[in-house]
């Protein structure tokens, strides 16, 4: 069954992409959750309007994202983690923890999917993550993993 994705869905496709999925997955999950539309002729025609509206909304919010980028420039985020004697942490630091720390420390709400980590973080120390706030606004966020 061909569908038009309204959100980025991991292992399925990107937003506004027309993909083919199993009919049950589309009927029982994607369409009822508002994540996709059936790719019929009328919805394919509406796709251009949907893309245009979202591009306008993104353009309007670009200044907001630039302000966030300016506020985070030069800042170092601190993330606490339990660690052993050698400095190796129990578990690893994830994009969820970084998004939560941004909310706690700077009162900036960022979707966890917009935080890209370069590697798996399993040791105390300083690291850098990439924040993809807008297609034209990307920042390198420095953060430090410290022992709790």
112-143, pLDDT tens digit by residue? 888 999 888 999 999 999 998 888 888 999 99
**Taking the domains of the chain in order of start, what are their residue ranges?**
2-60, 68-147
Given a cut of 90, whether residue 34 has pLDDT beyond it is: yes
Alpha-carbon distances, residue 99 vs 69, 74, 102, 107, 116 (angstroms): 14, 17, 5, 10, 11
53-87, pLDDT tens digit by residue? 988 888 888 888 888 888 888 889 999 999 988 88
Question: How many CB atoms within 10 Å of residue 121?
Answer: 21
| Cα 5 to the center of its chain, rounded Å | 16
> Residue 13 — φ and ψ, nearest 5°?
170, 180
The single residue listed with the structure tokens 């850098």 is 128
- Tell which residue, 136, 2, 143, has the closest CA to residue 66: 136
Give CA–CA dist 123/83, Å, rounded.
8
pLDDT of residue 31: 95
Residue 36, both tokens: 């996709």
Given a cut of 90, whether residue 111 has pLDDT beyond it is: no
Please tell us whether the domain made up of 68-147 is placed in CATH 3.40.50.150: no
What's the CATH fold of domain 2-60? Ribosomal Protein L9; domain 1 (3.40.5)
pTM over 0.85, yes/no: no
């Amino acid at each position: 069954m061909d569908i038009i994705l309204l959100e980025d869905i991991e292992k399925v496709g990107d937003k506004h992409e027309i993909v083919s999925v199993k009919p049950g997955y589309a009927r029982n999950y994607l369409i009822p959750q508002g994540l996709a539309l059936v790719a019929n002729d009328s919805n394919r025609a509406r796709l251009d309007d949907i893309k245009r509206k979202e591009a306008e909304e993104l353009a309007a919010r670009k200044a907001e994202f630039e302000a966030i980028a300016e506020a985070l420039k030069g800042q170092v985020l601190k993330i606490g983690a339990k660690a052993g004697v050698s400095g190796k942490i129990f578990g690893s630091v994830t994009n969820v923890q970084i998004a939560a720390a941004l909310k706690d420390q700077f009162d900036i709400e960022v979707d966890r999917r917009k935080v890209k980590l370069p590697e798996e973080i399993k040791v105390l120390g300083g690291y850098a993550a990439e924040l993809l706030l807008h297609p034209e606004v990307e920042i390198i966020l420095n953060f430090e993993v410290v022992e709790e």
